Amino acid sequence: MFVTAAIAAEAASEGEKVFPPFDSSTFASQLFWLAITFGFFYWFIAKVISPRIGEILETRQDRIAGDLDMARDLQEKADEAHAAYEQELAQARTTAGEIGQKARDKAKAEAEAERQKVEAELATKLEEAESRIASIREKAMAEVGSIATDTTAQIVDQLIGTSVTKAELTKAVGAARG
């Protein structure tokens, strides 16, 4: 190398040692030991270190990916369980509504039946009462004829002082009553 030679010459002329990095007498030794040490180091990295650390990192990556998958599965299951719960809840709500409606309907029907029964009873009682009133009235009306006959007999007796026969009286009263 030109530069090396120039510096070496300069150094030599001053009677000093060559600037060490440009001292070509050490090159062979440095290259030789560099080849040995770096050669070993390269071999060691390629055969031992690189596969080992690569494997560690891969294992970790796989594990993380696996864990994430598992978490996703569990999440899905949880979602499903939640959905099933919701559905069941909704169903229970519907059932409860139905049961309530049925109970309400039944109660209503019973009340209605009770009411009808009572009404029917009242109606029969009313009828009975009416028929009794009618019979009483009839009886009274029937008696009205005899009372009128008696009363008429007395009035006629008082007024004109004659007694009229019962048959005539009855005929006259019946004619008057229509």
C-alpha angle 47/50/51, rounded to 5°?
75
Contact yes or no for 89/82 (Cβ under 8 A): no
* 20 binding another protein? (CB under 8 A): yes
* Of the candidate residues 5, 6, 49, 140, the single one contacting another protein (CB under 8 A): 49
Distance of CA 24 to the CA centre of its chain: 91
Which residues from 29-48 bind another protein, rule CB under 8 A?
29-35, 37-38, 40-42, 44-46, 48
* 124 binding another protein? (CB under 8 A): no
Nearer to another protein, 13 or 162 (CB): 13
The set of residues, in sequence order, having a beta carbon less than 8 Å from that of 152 and lying 6+ positions away, is 164, 169, 172, 173
Q: Measure the CA–CA gap between 178 and 173, rounded to whole angstroms.
A: 8
Pattern 61-80, another protein, x by CB under 8 A: --x-----------------
* Contact residues: another protein, CB under 8 A: 17, 19-23, 25-35, 37-38, 40-42, 44-46, 48-50, 52-57, 59-60, 63
